[in-house]
Structure 1
Amino acid sequence: MGRNLKNAVIAFLVALPSILFHLYFLNHYEKSSHNSPLWSWCFHHPILLANVFFFFNVNVLFWVISHIQSSHWMIDLYWTVIPVLLVHYYATHPLGQYNSWRSKIVILLTWVWSIRLAHNYFRRARWQWGAREDWRFTDMSRQYGKHWWWVSFFAIYLSEQVFLIGVCLPFYVVHSVDKPLNIWDFVAAAVCLCGIFTAYFADTQLYDFVTRNQKLKELGKPLVATLDRGLWQYSRHPNYFGEQLWWWGLVLLAWSLGHGWTFIGSLINSMCLAYVTLLVERRMLGQDYRAEAYRLYQKTTSVWIPWFRSSAIAVKDKST
């Protein structure tokens, strides 16, 4: 079996323990909940049960597989999958009480977001399963050396549990509050869609830029130092901005249902992404052929929120 096919099979099978357990629970909790402490606990603690699934099925199992394969590629792929699993988990949990139309809207939006992100993941990986792991994990493995085998459990998997369970808390709220649709549902949905489309176009422009530079490199021609056209003309990280719009749109939805406390998940995620932004920019400045151009780009272009470039770039454009 080739590596690509083997990784595809692993990716499809690895989440089955949680899925099968939940399906078994749904089929047996009514008959056994009165005399089974396990089913009673699963029934009364949906968020804690989601954390148990995540801990054993992702943190432990993914971590073991990553060391067998010497690559932490799978957690990146499952960033696109876990929110879909969670939204369906909360929608099917027996404690769920919710407006069916709101649920359908959120589930549909989550699938659209997931397909967009999965498409970008496979496009960058040349449609290969497990072709590479995130460069940040590779850098950390060099940094921690022989200790990376255990540090990775906390730095990658346990931290991802905090991020993913946190940002998906609005899914729980949507499926635990039964209120009629209101104007805020449509405002939140519009914010989410705006985020999805912003991230899609930004990632597409970045992919085209990287592809063109690869062709220039093959031809032995000078590389273009900085992407500063399209959405990247107004923001240095419009893809990150779009992703944040998606998650904060869900927070707006939860807030409209009386559960504004769910902002904590998106806040932690935004803070983490701010640190990732710093790492990415340091990496850009560490590449000699683009360092000078990127410093100018930093001075003239907004970090996240799209805005007009400063006059310095306008002067530069007129002089070229």
Structure 2
Amino acid sequence: MGNFTRNLKSAVIAFLVPLPSILFYISFLNHESNSSSPLWNWCYNHPLLLANVLFFLNVNVLFWVISQILSSHWMIDLYWTVIPVMLVNYYASHPLGDYNLWRSRVAILLIWVWSLRLTHNYFRREKWQWGAREDWRFTDMSSQYGKHWWWISFFAVYVSQQVFIIGLSLPLYVIHTVDEPLNIWDFVAIIVCVSGIAIAFFADTQLHEFVTRNEKLKDLGKPVVANLDRGLWQYSRHPNYFGEQLWWWGLVVFAWNLGQGWTFVGSLVNSMCLAYVTKLVEDRMLKRAYRAEAYRLYQKTTSVCIPWFKSSAIAEKDKDT
């Protein structure tokens, strides 16, 4: 009963927390057409700035306050899958929007598919619980910064997420501010985005099945499998990361096609950050004694991110020595 109550409480909080931004934006839409209010005029003329202000107040400040009360930063991980959906619908519905309707519909559909995949993976990984735990990186940083973590977390967990999410979503803003007919590059962008979603889905599914099998083996008192090197993981050590990056760079193709190639900066920063996260993940793997040796061989024979054929010569050399 305790787990059910906690799960329900977390779900209610997660559903209620974006309401301030949603209600404010609905109020703006209702008053925009017949209002001379300086506030509504500013909201009308600065859609991108308004998105940042709402993000800062509703996510950075409110999420951070709630995290201090709950002693957990679990909610930002879940909302990674939701905020881009909110942003694309915000850009599409803003009165200043000027765009090709079909490109907009395609972008919205793709974002929803991406979000549903990632949300499903989140809950599957968390055993269908709300707020059961925070990202392990936040837990590690909490130990590292100790008594200062309460205020450092505001910048490390929330302000940084604004940079990433708003930056990654810049192509969605461009799509809804440039009205140009569809062309071949839009279809290239669609193919890249869909490929990214599909690769990430299959990679995460294979990882989930691997972890589930190992949990069953552990419960039975049998040796677990040291490393996942089958399926997509045979060609890349992080195919799920590769698929996710492919998705975001696919959105960049949309913006580049509309003459706004500068929006690549969001995906570039995210890719650089993910390279660092990849190192943290691999260092964590090597600290586990039961898998360290197998993982070192895996590192030598398998591409770190972009799927490629195994380096069999190195593998054979290691086996011989």
TM-score, length of structure 1 as denominator length? 0.97
Give the C-alpha shift of residue 64 in structure 1: 0.6
Residue identity (%): 77
CA distance change for structure 1 residues 263 and 165 in 2, over 3 Å: closer, same or farther?
Answer: same
Aligned residue for 2:72, secondary structure, equals coil
Summarize the alignment of residues 169-208 of structure 1 with structure 2, pairs less than 5 Å apart.
169-208=170-209
Counterpart-to-counterpart distance in 2, 1:44 and 1:266: 26
Counterpart-to-counterpart distance in 2, 1:8 and 1:97: 36
Q: Is this contact kept in 1: 2:297–2:315, CA < 8 A? A: no
- Tell me whether 1:16 sits opposite 2:19 in the alignment: yes
- Tell me whether 1:42 sits opposite 2:53 in the alignment: no
In the other structure, the counterpart of 2:306 is 305
Give the C-alpha shift of residue 273 in structure 1: 0.6
In the other structure, the counterpart of 1:289 is 290
In the other structure, the counterpart of 1:6 is 9
1:228-280 deviations in whole A, cap 9, x for unaligned?
Answer: 00000000000000000000000011000000000001111111111110100
In the other structure, the counterpart of 1:149 is 150
Amino acid at match of 2:20: P
Counterpart-to-counterpart distance in 2, 1:164 and 1:204: 24
Amino acid at match of 1:186: F
In the other structure, the counterpart of 1:77 is 78
Aligned residue for 1:51, secondary structure, equals helix
Q: Is this contact kept in 1: 2:297–2:318, CA < 8 A? A: no
Counterpart-to-counterpart distance in 2, 1:316 and 1:12: 55
Counterpart-to-counterpart distance in 2, 1:137 and 1:214: 24
Summarize the alignment of residues 66-215 of structure 1 with structure 2, pairs less than 5 Å apart.
66-215=67-216
TM-score, length of structure 2 as denominator length? 0.97
Give the C-alpha shift of residue 222 in structure 1: 1.1
Aligned residue for 2:181, secondary structure, equals coil
| Aligned pair partner of 2:31 in 23, 28, 31 | 28
Give the C-alpha shift of residue 316 in structure 1: 8.3
Aligned residue for 1:306, secondary structure, equals coil
Amino acid at match of 1:20: L
Give the C-alpha shift of residue 132 in structure 1: 0.8
Aligned residue for 1:2, secondary structure, equals helix
Counterpart-to-counterpart distance in 2, 1:61 and 1:239: 31
Give the C-alpha shift of residue 312 in structure 1: 3.5
Counterpart-to-counterpart distance in 2, 1:302 and 1:274: 13
Give the C-alpha shift of residue 82 in structure 1: 0.1
Amino acid at match of 2:295: Y
Counterpart-to-counterpart distance in 1, 2:296 and 2:14: 40
Counterpart-to-counterpart distance in 2, 1:303 and 1:314: 15
Give the C-alpha shift of residue 24 in structure 1: 0.8
1:48-72 deviations in whole A, cap 9, x for unaligned?
Answer: 1000010000000000111111110
Query: Considering only aligned residues, what root-mean-square deviation do their CA atoms show, in Å?
Result: 1.4
Aligned residue for 2:247, secondary structure, equals helix
Counterpart-to-counterpart distance in 1, 2:313 and 2:305: 19
Counterpart-to-counterpart distance in 1, 2:189 and 2:310: 28
Counterpart-to-counterpart distance in 1, 2:210 and 2:57: 40
1:8-61 deviations in whole A, cap 9, x for unaligned?
Answer: 0110110011011111101101111xx311111111111110000100000000
Give the C-alpha shift of residue 198 in structure 1: 0.2
Aligned residue for 2:159, secondary structure, equals helix
Counterpart-to-counterpart distance in 2, 1:49 and 1:272: 26
